[in-house]
Each structure stands twice: as structure tokens, then as C-alpha cells.
Amino acid sequence: MNLQEVLFNIADTPAVAGNEGQRAELCAEYLKKYTKNVRVSGANVIAEIGEQKPEQPKILLDAHIDQIGMVCTHITDDGFIKIGNIGGLDRRLLLGQELRIFGKRELIGVISSMPPHLKTDAKKPPEIDEIYVDTGYSSKNRAELEKIVTLGDPVAFNTKCKTLLNGRVTGSSFDNSAGIAAVLLAAELLAAENRAFTVLFSAQEEVGLRGAYAAGHRLKADAAVILDATTANDLYDGEKEIQAICRQGEGAVISIADGGTVYDNRLIDLAVKTAGEKNIKVQFKEAMTGGTDAAAYQRSAGGAKVLGISLPARYIHSANSVADKRDIEACYDLACAMASAVHEND
Ligand SMILES: [Zn+2]
């Protein structure tokens, strides 16, 4: 499986939280290469791979399948579309962006912006209710627009993945198409070794870990390894000390704690030891920001031990994030090594 091909294919298939169906079907097709036991439940994709022995711990590899986005909430008399946010959008980076509106047919829209020389408070990011989407229609076409767009239709950034210099890539939803690609590549390697594990691509993580909560109760994992993306705030090195959180190009990010979870110390120690033995580049997340599906697995069924492995990505929750393919490789190498190490160190 080619990392860039899988990553781009998943990232360019829209999956705004609550409307993940198309990406869920695509991921299910990938997983069917390794097992017949794949199902799409709601928009959660669940696969059981290998033969689980009763005495072995049940290991779950998780990546959320959804992405942040928007939803149509109103059509104005002037023929503009009003939108609401699904998940935490970076509002500073919205104006002028091109959008895909998934109505009865797909439309392209542009987020309207007042020219800077007419704006008095240009430094302030717009509130979501101050934003209007221009589809080209006006008051004269409003009735026609209403036939295509229904309130509740999902909206995503119109960004296609592209390669940058130095092994880096750009796309709109590496949070969390990178996590999904890492799990798929790990699944390929682990299935070849005949390892037993469960894969969950969870729905609606960005709006409250909802798919993971629902599936966690049923799957009853002993250990859950969560692959997600996290903020690399590593741009302004120099004179003043900044909190980078993590750094691009420095490998897989291991979380100690975040807004929802204190991660399992024994799994963290095992991850660091295993990474050292296998020569996998890792770094710690230097902040307690954000949160992952781990919070759901810690609180579901008997409470799984959790390990968070994240991709250091720049500009997440915007139209164009940037990732380093070598960091994604480090994420799936570590996920694979941990799936083996948890069985062997149980
Ligand atoms: Zn995420």
C-alpha cells in the first residue's frame, strides 16, 4: 500500500462529522483486503483482523474518520448561504476560502469577505454568524438555490491534496486522514504477521467522541492505541521561547495527558522503549491541549488502557494543513510495534 496514494485518496473524500458515509465506505473497502469481518455501523467502521486468542489482550487501533467542516443553516433573501460550524474551525483562516456544498448536487461557494480597505476591524476574525457564502446566485435565483440546497447540507473546504518540497504534503483534512492512513498501513503489516487486533474508524470525534463512546462499550478493548493529528506550533523558533507543542519532522507524538485523558504510564514507557529498540523517531506532546477518542475508551465498558500517537501537523482545522510523510510513517511503525509489544508484554 502506498502511503501518499492512500492518504490523498482518503483526505480528498469528504467526511464532515455527521456525514462520514462516503469515506466510511472507502475505508471499509481498504480493510476488506485483510479480513472479511468488516462492518459499517452508523458511520463507524469496525474490522476484526486475525484470530483473537482468549488469553491475549484485545487491542484496538483507532482513528477518527470525521473532519471538521460546516453545515448550511439559512439562505438569505440575497441568495447567500449562511453556515454553522461543525467542530472547531479556525475562523481566522476562513475568509475567501472556496467551499464544496453537498446539496442535491454539489455546488462551489466562496466565503465572502469585505475588501480590507473598507473594513474598520480587519484584525478581528469573523464570527461564524457574520459569514456569507457566495455561490454566484442572487436574490433573483433564490428559489432555484433552495431547490438545490437544503438546510443541514454539509459543507467542506474545496482543497485537493498536493505534494510540497522535502517529503511534505498539504491537504484540508490530515486531521484525521493521516491517522486513518497510518492505521491502514499498520493493518497491512500486522495482518501479514497474523496478529489479532480490532480496527475502529470512529464517527463524530470532532463534535464529542460520539462514535468511539458508542463502539467502546461494545468492543471492550483491553488496550486502545489512538492515532490522531495534533498541532505543530513550531514556526517561530528564534529569539523568544515558544510552546511548540510538537515539531514537524521529529516523528510520532506521544501524549502524556490532554483535555480528556491521562494516558497509561505503562503503555507510554513501553512505547518509548519499543521506539528505541526499533529506531522509530518519537517525541512527547509538550502541552495538555486538545483531546482524542482515548477519553471515550477510558470511560467505556471496563475502561481500556490508552496510548495516544499523533501526527505533528501544521494549520490543523483549516483549509490547508501541512504534514511530513516521514512522521506518518513513524506513527504507523510505532502502532505496529505496540500491537506486537502489548501482546508480548502482557
Ligand atoms: Zn483529530
The strand order across the sheet containing 321-324 reads: 162-163, 168-171, 321-324
Residue 325: Cβ within 10 Å count: 17
CA of 227 to the centre of ligand 1 (A): 8
What's the pLDDT at 238?
64
C-alpha cell at 243: 510552546
Q: Where does residue 200 rank: exposed (0-12), middle (13-18), buried (19+ CB within 10 A)?
A: buried
* Ligand 1 centre distance from Cα of residue 114 (Å): 31
| Ligand 1 center from residue 317 Cα (angstroms) | 9
- The whole-model pTM stands at 0.94
Q: Ligand 1 centre from 218 Cα, in Å? A: 22
Q: Which residues of the chain have pLDDT under 70?
A: 114-122, 236-241, 346
What residue ranges of the chain are covered by domains with CATH 3.40.630.10?
A: 3-67+172-344
What is the structure's pLDDT at 114?
63
Q: d(Cα 337, Cα 150) in Å, to the nearest integer?
A: 47
Look at residue 196 and give its three-state secondary structure.
Answer: coil
- For residue 217 the three cell numbers come to 462499550
Overall fold of domain 69-157 = Elongation Factor Tu (Ef-tu); domain 3 (2.40.30)
* Distance in Å, CA 294 to ligand 1 centroid: 11
| pLDDT at residue 285 in the model | 93
* CATH classification code of 3-67+172-344: 3.40.630.10
Surrounding residues of ion ligand 1, Cβ less than 5 A: 175-176, 228
Beta-bridge partner residues of 324? 168
- d(Cα 256, Cα 233) in Å, to the nearest integer? 18
* CATH 2.40.30.40 residue window(s) in the chain: 69-157
